[in-house]
Structure formats: C-alpha cells, structure tokens
Structure 1
Amino acid sequence: MCLRTQPFEVIALIVGYLDLDDVRNLSICSHHFRYLAYDQAICKKVFQTGSISGLEADEAHRDRDYPRGFRRLIKRREAISSAFPFLTAVVAVADSSLYENGVLCHIRERQLCLLDVHRSADQEIVVDIRKLLDEAIPESEGSRKYSFQLLYQAGGIVSCLYTHARPHPAHWLVVFNPSEGQIITTRRLDSAEKIFARSNSNFVYYGVQSDIGDDGFRRWVLEGFDILQGRWFEDSLHLPDTVGSDIDSTICFEIIGNFFCVLTNETSFELDRIEYTSYYDFFRFPLDRPRRREIERPSKRNLFRRQHSEGAIDDRWTFMKIFCDELSGELKILESRKEWPGGGSTPTRTYYTKTLHMTERSEERRSLLDLEEEEEEEDQYAENERLAPFPGITVKSNQGCAPSRDPSEVHVGDDGATSVMFTLCKCFIRSYHPSSQTFMDLVDDPDPSNPNEQRIRIRAGSRLPWAQSGRDGSMLADNLEQQPMQTKTQEQLDNHYEQSGVISWPPEGRSRALDDLHNILNPPGYTGNVQGTWDTRSLIYTTGGQANGGVKALILVSFDPSIHLKGSRAFDHQTSATVWKGDLGKRLRDTQASLIPEKVVVEHRTSVSAGSGSRGRGCGAVEDGAHAWASDEPAQYLAIDMGLHFGKVARPT
C-alpha cells in the first residue's frame, strides 16, 4: 500500500496516532506530504491529540491558526537542539533586571521598565518608582535612600520588595498592575529573609524564612492574597518539615495551573546525615485554599531521586525546576546534577526528569497503611546500603526495590572527553529543554589568540531516538535486570538514543558579520560580571557593571521565530551584517546618558488596552487615565539599535 495515494481522510486518521515529531518528519520526507504542516485540520488534530500546551498552543487556539502554531513550535525546538537562535539583540542598559514569563523588567535611574519580549513589543511601560512608593506606602514619603528589589512578574502583576533604614529598618511587599495603574496591595513585613513571590492574575503568594525551629534552622512561612476578593488569607501556612533554602537549587516554589507547588531535593536539616536513598519532597495545594488539609502529595516511591552508591555530587552545579510538559501536559520535575558515576574520577553532568502522579487524597486523609508501606520500603533501602560493604553479610539487592528510571527521563551530558569543559565561574547559564532533549550553557570561551577578551558563546548537546536518527537500536541485554542501577540505565540509554556532539554558537572564524555579532554578545565597555536566566524560548543575560556607574547591558538570545524586534537587521555571513557606523560602545554610553532624567515628567498616552492581542503592545499598555506613576514609552532597544535576526540564514539540519 502506497501511503501517498491514500485519501485525505485516511491520512488524517493516521495522524491521530502520531506524535508531533512523527508528523513533522512525515511532512518533510516527501513533497507529497508537505501539506501536513499547512493544513488546518491536520495541525489542529496534532495539537488536540498530543495535549500540547505552551505559548504556541495558546495562540493557535486563540487565533484558530493551527498551521502557524505547529510550524512555530517545530522551528523553536529545532533551533534549540541545533543551538542556532533566530534573534540576538542588546535590549536595554540597566542597574538591575528580572526576566519572568516572557516580560523583561529592568530598573534604571529610579525608573522601572517592563518590556514584553514574547510579543515583540516596541513600547515598554515605564514606572516612576518614587511616585509609586509615595502613593503605595505613605511612610516612605521623603525617603531618598532605599532599596527597591524586583521579586516576580506574571499576568501583568509585579511584586517588589521596598526597604528603607530610616528612621527604623522596615520592609514592605508592594504588588501592583502597571498597565492599569493599580496598586493591588502592600504589606509591612516582619522579616524579609530569603523572600520570594509568585503570582498569576488572581492570586499573589510570598514566602519568607521567618520561623526558627528548636534546632536553630529557619523554616518557610507562606502568605497568600486573593486579588479578586481584595483580601489576605487569614492563616499563614507554616512549613516546618520543608527543607532547603536555595531557590532553584535545593527548593522550588511555582504556581502551575490552579495550584501552588513546592519541591525540594533535601529531606533533612542535618548536614552530616548520610541519606543512603534520597527522595524528593513535593506537595501542592489549591491557590484559593492554602490549608494543610488540602495538601496533595505523590507516593513516596514516585519521588525516588537517587541512591548514595551512584556516586558523589558537586552541589554547586545543581539546578532544579517544576514544569508542565508542553507536549503531554504532565507535571514534571527537572534536575541537573554533576556526578561522579560509580565513584569514578570523571564527573558527568546528567539531566533528570520525573513525571509526578498526584494522588486524589489530601495529606491528612492518606491511610496509615500507605505511610507504613513507604517507611518500610525506605528502611529496607537504608539497611541494605549500610550492610552491603561488610564482607560475609548477604543482603538483598536494592536494585529490586529501587524504581527503575525511564531512559527518556535521563539525559547524560558530556564529560569532557570530546570537548573542553568549563569551570563554574565561566558557565553563566545552565539549562535543559526536555521537549528538545537538549542541554544548553552560556559560557565565556575566549579565542586562543586573545585569552583575556570576553567571548560569550552558547554550548549545547542534544540526542535523538534511534528511530529518528535513522539507525536501529540493539536489543537490551538478557541480564540487564541483574546489573547495578547505573549500568542498567546507561545500557538502556545506549540502546534508545544517539547522542550528538557538543556544538557551539557563534561558529569559529572571522568576518565583518561575525565581528558585529561578537559586539552584540559582548558590548564594548560592558564586559565581565555576566549573569543570566532562561525560559523555554530565550536566554537573557547581563554583562558589565564594573564600569559605567555599575550599569549593565542586557542581551537577548531568542530561539522563537515569531520574536522580531523592530529595527533588527538581517545577518549576512558573506558581507557585513549591518550598516552600523562608529563606536558601538559609545552608542551604548550615549543611550545610557540619555536615560538620566533631569526631571521626571510622566505623560499619559491613549493606547490599546491589555489583552487586545495587538502586536507590539506587550504586557498590557498603560490604560488611558491611569495613575501618574505609569506611562508608555518607546522601547529602549529602539534607541540602542543593536540587533540581528537570522531568519534567512541557512540552518543546520
């Protein structure tokens, strides 16, 4: 039977059994199937069948343009796996910044600017911080020495921490909606120790380590605010048994859907205690009911992390996230660990994901039988591990008890055998993209001819299932079950996946175009002190601050083909990529000087209201009649005018 001669109805039925990658591969294997990536019904079926979520899916459902969403999603994933972005630009110069949920918030000269990167906004909301504080916190009026720290941004809601020292030290949480000119709530805090905030359009939560236990260790306390009801929840949620203090390293807090989620990879406050079998601790509760009896947890077996016998860990490299898988919609854990497998001498960075299966029962309703079974299982792990090293003692192998790892949830990175490894101080962003099966770092990789000059590069490695790579995997060994866990997992990985080599971008070589690209990634006069963050479609990092009054340049590297900043120029590898004239460093300094206001004058502009979906009006333009502390102004990157897009450049296959 020839597939290309089948009627459309049969092809549509077949597509219902294929995943996103299968449909993409089928659409490019022959010109007869090219229409699959452009057909409305086929692409809609792909989105609906695969439970695909994320920005592309949301916009496809909203605009009813499923082919565009399908192609955009495929292009983004391929750009990440090939480490070949669609856009890079210097988007701002600032004293401090925060990038959350596609919106870049940055502070410069007591002005807070918000730029919606995901919507390619050419206008940014500018907030006069002093005027905002005068209205939000009357006690702050007249204070000129204070700190204003960005905490979080989501759904147009910004959370910040205000602190002043005179006449007495005091902290306030300030939550506001800049597009509507609305101060949502303020609260004076007794403690700001390790403060964080999370929010969506309906709720705001913050947490601090304000409780101190009998052992001297600090404990987390959560407070919640209902935006629609305009009130704080009466009771605080105390977390006396939740261990971990380094956010995104040992503990994570996230709002996912209608739940507040907490994840930690530590289970004991005792630093010298050896955990022979390590577990995650995860729980969640509904945003509108922050009570202990509403807490839900997976089974303990579902939270298995690792065994002590798998090797030592360098905790400095660990990062951790909770996320909702964009292809399956499942709730998952992501953790990266640098380990010495089997006690060897060569460390390897490995990326682990784990699917969480939530129980329908709350913490208080879980049966004693379930808890006893989990405790007995953990005790068996520990007993076997403790006795195993002693000769003459026969113990049951833990291998039969330890949950096996799915090969799709373990990605072994490089160990330096095929490429240069970087020290932690030269590796500024460490990320992993499960949907693309790709790890990606932002590193300083100086040219050997000029080792003292900063050269920022992206370093990435991906993998493909044997079926996609065009080769057949061999069958698993018959005695695989009898091998140690680590050996067994590696055997499974070798039989399921083909690893790509580590690739770097920009490529090696010299040309006028590459020199222009180098000047964007390493702006003249703004080098050193690199810090950054990432999401599923972009990297944003700051560089500089050692000169220029502590001001840093903010650089965007985007893998989303739909993000296009106005004024960015097409990259041409054969000739000069730009028509830029003069010193680019001087241009940045001139832009920086122009941002220092002699007198802050805030004007109102009539603009499109939030949620209109108008391109170029990100994070909600300021509504007409808003308060005097918020306004719309042209995005700073328009004046800087240092951006390149790579849409027409031949991309790796």
Structure 2
Amino acid sequence: MRLCTREANLHSLPYDIFYQVVEDLDLSDFNNLSRVSRSLYNLLHNDQLAKRTIKKYVPHSKEARWAAAGNISFRKAIGRIHDMQQAVAMAEPYSAAVLSYAATFIYRDGVLSYVIGNEIRVLNVHRADSTEQVVDVHNMLRRIIPTYRQQEAADRSAQITFLYYSSGVLAFLVEIDGDAHAWLILLDVTPGCSRRIRFIRQLECTRRLFVRHNGTHLFYGVHSFVDASGELLWAIQWVDLTRNTKADVPPTVLDKLAGTEIGHNVCFEIFDNQLYAVSNTIDSEEEALNWRSFYEWVCIPPAFNRRRVRMQRIWRRDHLEGPINDTWTEMSLRMDEATGRPMILECRREWREGRSDHVRTYYAEPLRMVSELATTGEIQGEAEHTEPRETQSPSSSSPSTYPLLVGGTGPSNITLPAPLPLNGPSIEDLARRKRIGKHVHSEYSGNCRTRREFIMAKTKYRTYNFSAHSFMDLVNDPEPNNRVGAATDRLRLRINSCKRKCTLSVDDNHVAKRSKLDSTLRSSTTATTSIKDDESDNVHLWPPDDADEDLIKLLCPTRKATNIHAIADERSLIYSVDTDEPHKQAIILISFDPQIRLPCMHSRNQGATLPSAPVGISLLGPEDVKKNMRQKCSIFSPCSSSAISSSNSKSSVRTEAAMHLSIDKGYWFDTKRW
C-alpha cells in the first residue's frame, strides 16, 4: 500500500471544500489570505468566490453595486474596500492636494461644489476628473429671478448658501439685497443636461432650513410652525422633481420632534425615497419624570397628505449610566452596507458609571426599513393618498403656497406612555434593553493609561468612519518650539481605530456590557465580550512628527488654523482653511482611496507626476452640512452694460479645466503598505 507523504495545506483542498471555507471569511480575511502565497492568490482571484463574500458582508456598498453593474470585478471591489479601510485605520492616506481656492464649498457623493468669484464650480473628486462644470451665477439669476434682472444695474449683491447635493443636482439658497424672501434653487449640474433648473421657489421663512433630495423627490423643512401652546415645530414640505408641475400638498408637522440643532440633536436623511427624521431628545416635561432616554423618529413617504404623523420610539440609554458632556454629542443617519438599513450613528462623551474620566463612544442603532413599516401599516403608501392636484410649474417665480410659518391648533395624535417609576429601573427593565456589541465603539478601554487627546478648541472637525470603525478628528497640534510665543499651528489627522481580536465561534449580535448597574447582564456576557469585541486605544497621528515642511504647509498654508470647515465620507476628507488673501480659503483634499490620482499629485519619492486614473465610483457622504457651519458667499452684480451684454450671450453652464491643474500642489505617498 502506498502512503501519501505530501504535506497537507489549504490550497491543496478540493475546490468544493475550499469554497465552503472561504465563504465564512470577511473582506479583510479574504484579502489577507490571498497574499499568503501565489497559489492562494490564484485561487482567491476567482470572481465567484469574491461575489459571495461581497453579497454576504457588504451587498449595499457602492463597490458592490458597481461590480454588479460590470464596471469593476468583485475581486477588485474587495481589494478596494480593504485598502481604504486599512488606510483609514492606520492613518496612512494615499494622497493630499490643494483642489482650489474658494469662498465656500459643499462636498457630498464624491462631488465638490465651490464658489469662486461669480462662478459655482463642480468637480467630481472620486472620478479624479480634470474638468469642472462652471455655472455663471449672474447669467443664471438674471434668467430665473425677475427682481434680480430688473435691478441688476444697481449695486445689488446676492448671497449663496449651499444646502445639499445628490444625483447631480445642487441645492442652494440665494438671498438678494432688497428682497424680503430668499430663493431656494435646485440646479442640475450634470454635463449635457437640457433642463438645468429643477426647482425654484421663494420662501417666506428660512429658520433652520434644511434640504434633502435624491433627484426625484425633494423634502425641505423649517423650524417655524407655531402650535397652540406657542412652541415652534418642524414643518416638512415635499416636491416631486420629475414633473413640470408642483403638487399642492400641505406641509407635514412633526409634533414631538424636540431637537432644533441639525447634526447635534436632530437629523434628516432620505432612504428609499422616504424622509427619515430622528431626534435624541424628548419632551422636557416627560424627561423630568423619566430615567430613560429615547430616540424619537419618523418616516415620511412622498405625497404624504396628513397634517401630522405618529412618532416612533427606540430606547437610547438610561440616565443612571452616567452624565453626558453634551458639547461633544453628534448624530447622523447612515446606511448600513451589510443590511441596507438606515442607522442612527451618535457620538456621546460620557462619564460612565459616575467615574471622573469621560470617554467618547459611538453608538449605532438600526431603524426599520420602508418595506417593514409598510407591512405593519405604520406609514401610508403613495397609492393610498389622493392624487395631488397640479397647479403651476415648479420653476414659477411666485412665493410658496405654504409659507411654513403658520399657526396650528389641531390636536396631536401622539399617545405618550405612562411615566416610569421614580425609583429607577428594575433588573427586568435593564434586561430588556440590550446593545449589540458591534454597534458600540468606545474610544478608550477601561484599562487605558495613556491617552492622546485634544480639547474641543483644538479639535476642528470630528466624525466617525463607519466602514473602518475609526474615530477621525482634524486637530490643531502646534509644533513644539523652544521660543516663547513662537508656536505655529499644524493641522493633523487623529485617528483611533479598532484592533481586531481573535474571532471565535461567537455570534456577531452578542450583547455588549453596559454598566455595573446590571450585574446579572454583565456576568452573562463578560466572556462573550472579551472574545469578540474590538479593542480601542489605537491612536495614530498624521502627518508624523518628522514630516516635511512642504507637506505641513500644504495642509495649513499660513500656519494659522483658522475658520476651518470640513466634510468627510468613507474614503476622503475635504476641508477649507484661511489663506493670506481675504475672503479666499484653500480647499484641501486628504484621500484614502488609491484610485483617486489627480495629475497634480507628485510622488514624494520620485517627484514625478502620476497619471490620472478615474474610478467612477461615488460614495455616500456619511456627514450632513450642519446649519451652524454653513458658509455664505457674496456674489456682486456687475454694473457695466458691456459686462451685462457679454454675459447674456454665453451659456450659464459650461465645462472648463479643473482648478487643481493650474494650482499643481499635491503629493502621492509612495509608502510601504501593510
């Protein structure tokens, strides 16, 4: 009998067995295993294996949708997601560049829109475009706003405030000197578009105005509805962007949505054509009698013709868990790439269990999808509503039929639960409220002794990268200097990411430990938590302390970190910072995507310019522009008749070379990757 003496290894397994083994690997393990040997690399290069992994772990990601459409392979999608996640977690960006010098900007869906002079310029950053769409603001306003056209010879100026961008449509507010009411405009900036003005309306009130749209449905609202008790409430207006007529649908009033600061205690976002609204505060009278905190949320479908809606509740926390430093609280709505569900993502800085130190923790809470709400009858679908009557075109210049600043005395249909007992929660109450371990990420563990933290005055921007499970802060860390009063500002990224522990046969949905208040729950889950939970205390700073002066100056041109406004998505961070010229800021890109390569990005090692490699993948911007961070830009009207006649003869939207080509300031980092 002949015995087999060949050493057993993974790539020698029968393919059907190897297929089953690979099925349980997540994206990181899949990518790392492919780098073990050439044999495993060839085996894992199979696109069917990669497709199963993508469908299991991130079926709702942008890369998954592009792979399903055939734009990239599923294997490349896995590698791209892994590379971006690792670059964020290790604070090792691939590139940094100056994109433009401008007065204000908005960045969402991978598209940068900014104002320079009398123009709005639009650049697709994720595609690494070398051209920009340029909008002549004067020419556009003359054509669509009669009062601006009639009195443009006078010294009248217009202020532009960016509000939102999605699906190639830019939403902004125009305030003209002398006009009592501002104009809400939705402009299609897609190249070759035949109908540019998608919506225009003069608003009678812009108090805490927000806009959300997806190119098909528009929701906008203000905090101005006055109820019977004199309190201000949110009022939401819906518009159908696919029609040339507007639907005469009254605004929907949100009775118990108590938050007023978008991004802090209230947030809005569109998912599946529905507007989700979430607040982390409840009625003040009820909160005084309640030792439990809730999220109040609602889902508003298009063409919703009810005056008021019923709010839903989700447990948030118990006040006995410890006080909160509310100045650090942030809240947003994201989409879970694994399930496609809307997720509440909230950052809270808490004194846990009454300890003297306070720690930042991000909590994620999934919301029900539209299909689930429809089956339970909690929302009313479009088919159940009467058809809205069509009146005038959405490009009409008349003020809004519903000014969103009216009084209301109708009774609320909200039924509040009975007040909870004043003696605090029982063990049964605590056992019913559980958090999923993968939905909780504390910045530091309890046994962490050394911390690299910055006060709020030094933290210019803070967010959370949900894909890489990383805290991301843009901080001012002045360079050490022996001379008194000679310290210069230095902008750096501070990233604190999870360190993955060994994963055993434990369900991802295990219960996270909450506090010492519930000893029963703690004892039953301590073993599980120690096995599966991720570790924190993994702080990285970039650029490093020995970085070149040229890079430090690129990130902060004047070495004074003032008037910083930043927006981030899953693969890049864009911020503006003051320059030596007044009313002009440098717009800086820090990219963690290896496929975003602009011609201005020069190799740090070779000094050569890398060729452009457009990707064509846009990613949802997890963060909204907050109301208190909006920037206004003044557009001054030209007074000369020659300037007026020449500008009337040219198109309002044209294509030009991107500004970053002429600026030519950027770096590509040829560092050795993990």
Both proteins in one fold, TM over 0.5: yes
Equivalence for 1:318: 329
Q: Which moved more, 1:417-426 or 1:242-251?
A: 417-426
Equivalence for 2:544: 508
Equivalence for 2:439: 409
1:17-38 deviations in Å (ceiling 9; x for gaps): 4332332343234443223553
Output aligned runs, 1:588-627, within 5 Å. none
When the two structures are superposed, what TM-score results if normalisation uses the length of structure 1?
0.81
Is contact 2:96-2:588 (8 Å) kept? yes
Instruction: For 1:640 and 1:398, locate their aligned partners in 2 and report how far apart those are by CA, in whole Å.
Output: 63
TM-superposed CA distance for 1:476, in Å, is: 11
Equivalence for 2:168: 156
TM-superposed CA distance for 1:399, in Å, is: 4.8
Establish whether residue 38 from structure 1 lines up as the match of residue 45 from structure 2. yes
Is contact 1:36-1:43 (8 Å) kept? no
Establish whether residue 375 from structure 1 lines up as the match of residue 417 from structure 2. yes
Is contact 1:264-1:281 (8 Å) kept? yes
TM-superposed CA distance for 1:156, in Å, is: 0.6
Instruction: For 1:64 and 1:108, locate their aligned partners in 2 and report how far apart those are by CA, in whole Å.
Output: 35
Establish whether residue 566 from structure 1 lines up as the match of residue 602 from structure 2. no
Instruction: For 1:8 and 1:627, locate their aligned partners in 2 and report how far apart those are by CA, in whole Å.
Output: 64
Residues 274, 339 of structure 1: alpha-carbon distance in 2 compared, 3 angstrom cutoff: farther
Equivalence for 2:498: 463
AA partner of residue 456 (structure 1) = L
Equivalence for 2:133: 125
Is contact 1:295-1:363 (8 Å) kept? no
1:335-358 deviations in Å (ceiling 9; x for gaps): 000111112211100111112235
Is contact 1:209-1:219 (8 Å) kept? yes
Output aligned runs, 1:464-479, within 5 Å. 464-467=499-502
Output aligned runs, 1:8-19, within 5 Å. 8-19=15-26
Q: Which moved more, 1:516-525 or 1:397-406?
A: 397-406
Establish whether residue 649 from structure 1 lines up as the match of residue 657 from structure 2. no
TM-superposed CA distance for 1:444, in Å, is: 0.6
Instruction: For 1:231 and 1:68, locate their aligned partners in 2 and report how far apart those are by CA, in whole Å.
Output: 44
Instruction: For 1:291 and 1:83, locate their aligned partners in 2 and report how far apart those are by CA, in whole Å.
Output: 48
Residues 410, 313 of structure 1: alpha-carbon distance in 2 compared, 3 angstrom cutoff: same
User: Gaps (5+ residues) in structure 2?
Assistant: 1-7, 381-413, 611-636
Residues 149, 577 of structure 1: alpha-carbon distance in 2 compared, 3 angstrom cutoff: same
Equivalence for 2:198: 184
Is contact 2:516-2:522 (8 Å) kept? no
Residues 457, 629 of structure 1: alpha-carbon distance in 2 compared, 3 angstrom cutoff: same
User: Gaps (5+ residues) in structure 1?
Assistant: 366-370, 389-394, 580-595, 605-625
Equivalence for 1:93: 101
TM-superposed CA distance for 1:493, in Å, is: 4.4
CA RMSD for the aligned pairs?
A: 3.6
TM-superposed CA distance for 1:233, in Å, is: 3.0
Instruction: For 2:549 and 2:504, locate their aligned partners in 1 and report how far apart those are by CA, in whole Å.
Output: 35
Instruction: For 2:470 and 2:202, locate their aligned partners in 1 and report how far apart those are by CA, in whole Å.
Output: 43
AA partner of residue 331 (structure 1) = P
Establish whether residue 259 from structure 1 lines up as the match of residue 274 from structure 2. yes
Q: Secondary structure in 2 aligned to 1:69?
A: helix
TM-superposed CA distance for 1:453, in Å, is: 1.1
Aligned match for 1:497, one of 517, 533, 536: 533
When the two structures are superposed, what TM-score results if normalisation uses the length of structure 2?
0.79
Q: Which moved more, 1:636-645 or 1:37-46?
A: 37-46
Is contact 1:147-1:164 (8 Å) kept? yes
Instruction: For 2:89 and 2:316, locate their aligned partners in 1 and report how far apart those are by CA, in whole Å.
Output: 26
Question: Which structure shows the bigger proportion of residues in helix conformation?
Answer: 1
Instruction: For 2:299 and 2:512, locate their aligned partners in 1 and report how far apart those are by CA, in whole Å.
Output: 38
Residues 525, 432 of structure 1: alpha-carbon distance in 2 compared, 3 angstrom cutoff: closer
Instruction: For 2:664 and 2:494, locate their aligned partners in 1 and report how far apart those are by CA, in whole Å.
Output: 26
TM-superposed CA distance for 1:259, in Å, is: 1.8
Residues 78, 457 of structure 1: alpha-carbon distance in 2 compared, 3 angstrom cutoff: same
AA partner of residue 6 (structure 1) = L
Is contact 1:293-1:362 (8 Å) kept? no
Instruction: For 1:25 and 1:2, locate their aligned partners in 2 and report how far apart those are by CA, in whole Å.
Output: 16
Output aligned runs, 1:271-350, within 5 Å. 273=288, 275-286=290-301, 288-292=302-306, 300=313, 303-350=314-361
Aligned match for 2:231, one of 213, 217, 239: 217
Q: Which moved more, 1:553-562 or 1:23-32?
A: 23-32
Residues 488, 536 of structure 1: alpha-carbon distance in 2 compared, 3 angstrom cutoff: farther
AA partner of residue 259 (structure 1) = Q
Residues 476, 148 of structure 1: alpha-carbon distance in 2 compared, 3 angstrom cutoff: closer
Equivalence for 1:557: 590
Residues 404, 603 of structure 1: alpha-carbon distance in 2 compared, 3 angstrom cutoff: farther
Aligned match for 1:23, one of 5, 30, 33: 30
Aligned match for 1:439, one of 456, 468, 471: 471
Residues 537, 519 of structure 1: alpha-carbon distance in 2 compared, 3 angstrom cutoff: same
Equivalence for 2:214: 200
Residues 483, 192 of structure 1: alpha-carbon distance in 2 compared, 3 angstrom cutoff: same
AA partner of residue 50 (structure 1) = Y
TM-superposed CA distance for 1:540, in Å, is: 0.9
Q: Which moved more, 1:213-222 or 1:157-166?
A: 213-222
Instruction: For 2:512 and 2:62, locate their aligned partners in 1 and report how far apart those are by CA, in whole Å.
Output: 38
Q: Secondary structure in 2 aligned to 1:73?
A: helix
Equivalence for 1:140: 148
TM-superposed CA distance for 1:177, in Å, is: 0.7
TM-superposed CA distance for 1:306, in Å, is: 0.5
TM-superposed CA distance for 1:568, in Å, is: 0.8
How many aligned residue pairs are there?
584
Residues 408, 498 of structure 1: alpha-carbon distance in 2 compared, 3 angstrom cutoff: closer
Is contact 1:39-1:67 (8 Å) kept? yes
Residues 170, 33 of structure 1: alpha-carbon distance in 2 compared, 3 angstrom cutoff: same
Q: Which moved more, 1:549-558 or 1:208-217?
A: 208-217
